[in-house]
Structure 1
Amino acid sequence: MSDLFTELEFHQVRKAAEHTAGDAFLVHKNTESNRLLAVLSDGLGSGVKANILAHMTANMAIRFAEAYTDFVHYARVIMNALPVCQVRKIAYATFTVLDCNPDGSVQIVELGNPPFILLRNGKATEVPFREFCSEQEDSRKLRVSRFKAQPEDRIIFFSDGVTEAGMGSTAYPLGWRNRGCAEFSEEQVQRDQRMSARDLARAVVNGALRREPDRTAYDDITCGVLYFRTPRKTLLASGPPFSEKKDPEFAEQIRSFDGTTIISGGTSAEIAAREFGRELQTDLFRYRRSPLPPISELDGVDLVTEGILTLTEVLNILEGKEKYTGDHAARLLSEHLLNSDIIHFLVGTRINQAHQDPNLPVELEIRRSLMRRIATVLEERYLKEVTLEFI
């Protein structure tokens, strides 16, 4: 499993008319051991109270899972510690804990949430499990599954907002249920065998929402997906090298890179075009209504954009502070980064005097600082493997 990458993403829609979600999704990756932990907790009810319950449970679960090898014992402690609603006779919060080790061994512990789905070879596959009963003489059971992941496996786990979508309607009197979600996920993967975890999680949530009357979320809808795959690599080159003597080396790194190649910056693209002996063409019609500069085309490079303005908006998108709506170069660049697993930044250090003008907007940061910030967000928020090289 050492040559596989684990892509973990989730998507969520909160209950209609609520300002906060009653589901919590937490992730922790140990950079030393490469162990990946994720918790999805569903608080009883909705809104602020459910949000607090879910986050308390998720934080407790992820701390126990991180600190102790025998998490099953501590999961039972959590189960028995969670009070039970006297009216509905269910726990105040449910949880699914996913524990993945670099050797591909996976342990999934579930309490109250719908059972996870393992897609193997594009089909839902049954996984053996053990059950542990609550010590409080109620009907709660802890479900524990262990297995060895294989290449192209996808683990799909969700709150009951997915399985109960459409409940009471003519088409889905009992809700979408696990089987409906599994069949839908199979169809999505068969249609796009390279579908990312991010896209599949979004598709499942949107699929559940479409089954609700008037497409209104009557509960919080959350789905997480863990995808085991060969890593997808991207090179993002921005800025001319410090010395013009480095131009051939700069271009050769782009030319020989085994993966997606992106150039962000007009001067950088001109250097590559000159060294490649190819023509750089600007596409004035694609995204012509965009507030950002247009994209360009260069044979041998997957995407060519303008530099600082576009990269600044990329950072806004990654941080959830997007300023511009619609399709534009920054959104396209962000999609490439988010669909990648290993990202190498090749950063030129030649000073562009235009960006030292104090009259320019504050957000026009110098390139090195901006690229470091993008790298940090990709590592910490999206769990990407990122390297920076200054040239």
Structure 2
Amino acid sequence: MRKYYLDITNLSMNKYGEELCGDNVEIVKLSDGMLVVMSDGLGSGVKANILGTLTSKIAITMLKEGATIDETIDTIINTLPECQVRKLAYSTFTIVKIKNDGEVYMVEYDNPPVFLFRSNRSSHIEKVKRIVNDKVIYESRFYMCEDDTLVVISDGVVHAGVGGLLNLGWELPHIDRYLTNLVQKEKTARGICSQLISTCKDLYDSKPGDDTTAVVIRLHREKNISLFIGPPKKKLDDATLIALVQSVPGKKIVCGGTTSNIIAKGLKTTIEMDLTNFTADVPPCGYMNGVDLVTEGLLTLNKVKDMLTDYLNKTKTSSTIPNIRGNDGASKIVSTLINEGTTINFYVGEAINPAHEDTGYPQQFNLKMQIIKDIMKLLKELNKQVSVRYL
């Protein structure tokens, strides 16, 4: 059975005036998939944060260790108190256990319903109602397919705009239509999640009346992207470099003039430069048979690092997603890494660049290696699977 790459992102927005969020999300990797718990503590502020955090921590820990949902709910109920004034639940929660083959087991307790999108359309989830320790829960078992999207929300999303732009808040049918359009435009979980929370912020006029959280799970077929940066340390390893370019799956990007010349010679092809698409800080890129993109080295990689940092920071703060659809070499690399890659493989040559030997080579080399490490770290924060091999 096919295994998928699980693209998962969660973002939250605190109630206006509160330093802590009453919603809490816990995500843990399992041997065969992922376990996600989103809880919403009663009220807001410190008390809600404690209740929500304890609920999600108990649930994620017990379920990871193999406890049943009944045992988990029983433990939560007996550990956390109900509100004695309003007689309401201490914390609501949604649990999603998803395997690498797309099999999903989901439990919902008093949170807004979960949205499923398949082929860019809203899809119904069959649910079974059960009573566990006097609590009504809904269980679901289904399979997600390639490019399906699951969206879990707290009631802060539904309350967005209450008493302001929307008298009754953002009603579920309207959220469903919004998300249907959004999943057609944004292809990553982070892009969908960031846009959703940003829209909630706008509906609240930047003063959220409730803690607001979204968790987006999207399934992708594994897609490899390989970056070849710098020539090998030993000339004898040029053949290894060329063999790797010929054999690795997926898209291939070569960074650096010396590296691209070695590969072009080995593949018995030529490099065709694109002199129309470049910027003041990004040199022209090019193409060759057997490789998807050829770029300059240090300057382009530094710009890639800056663009990835900007993208990650802005999507974390629910700002407008930066435009990464430029035609220069750095923009093309960043767009490919974010929108097309699930597994990013770095092949880094450690040879001394002759051009730098008399112009502060160690500093140039160390700077390049640090930039590469920074890019790998950023990609890991974007939930990409990253590997590196030095040549």
Q: CA deviation at 1:99?
A: 0.6
Match of 1:162 among 152, 157, 161: 157
Superposition CA RMSD, Å: 3.7
Note if contact 2:83-2:90 (Cα within 8 Å) is conserved in structure 1. Answer: yes
Q: Which amino acid aligns with 1:168?
A: G
Match of 1:296 among 282, 285, 302: 285
Deviation readout 1:110-134 (Å, 9 max, x if unpaired): 2222111111232222222233446
- Tell me the SS of whatever aligns to 1:195: coil
Deviation readout 1:288-308 (Å, 9 max, x if unpaired): 3xxx65563435434735336
Take 2:192 and 2:236, find their aligned partners in 1: how far apart are those partners? Answer: 45
Take 1:8 and 1:326, find their aligned partners in 2: how far apart are those partners? Answer: 20
Aligned to 1:24: 24
The runs of 5 or more residues in structure 2 that have no matched partner are: none
Matched, 1:105 2:135: no
- Cα 1:294–1:20 shift into 2, 3 Å: farther
- Cα 1:297–1:75 shift into 2, 3 Å: farther
Note if contact 2:229-2:297 (Cα within 8 Å) is conserved in structure 1. Answer: no
Match of 2:179 among 158, 182, 185: 185
- Tell me the SS of whatever aligns to 1:206: helix
Take 2:333 and 2:69, find their aligned partners in 1: how far apart are those partners? Answer: 40
Q: CA deviation at 1:37?
A: 1.0
The runs of 5 or more residues in structure 1 that have no matched partner are: none
Take 1:49 and 1:265, find their aligned partners in 2: how far apart are those partners? Answer: 54
Aligned to 1:3: 3
Aligned to 1:218: 209
Take 1:73 and 1:64, find their aligned partners in 2: how far apart are those partners? Answer: 8
Q: Which amino acid aligns with 2:146?
A: P
Aligned to 1:142: 137
Take 2:233 and 2:362, find their aligned partners in 1: how far apart are those partners? Answer: 25
Aligned to 2:12: 12
Take 1:102 and 1:11, find their aligned partners in 2: how far apart are those partners? Answer: 23
Aligned to 1:239: 230
Note if contact 2:12-2:197 (Cα within 8 Å) is conserved in structure 1. Answer: yes
Aligned to 1:174: 168
Take 1:268 and 1:77, find their aligned partners in 2: how far apart are those partners? Answer: 59
Q: CA deviation at 1:155?
A: 0.9
Take 1:336 and 1:247, find their aligned partners in 2: how far apart are those partners? Answer: 26
Take 1:169 and 1:216, find their aligned partners in 2: how far apart are those partners? Answer: 11
Take 2:70 and 2:374, find their aligned partners in 1: how far apart are those partners? Answer: 38
Aligned length: 373
Deviation readout 1:13-32 (Å, 9 max, x if unpaired): 333343443322221113xx
Note if contact 1:181-1:204 (Cα within 8 Å) is conserved in structure 2. Answer: no
Q: Which amino acid aligns with 1:121?
A: S
Take 1:352 and 1:293, find their aligned partners in 2: how far apart are those partners? Answer: 20
Which shifted more, 272-281 or 312-321? 312-321
- Cα 1:12–1:332 shift into 2, 3 Å: farther
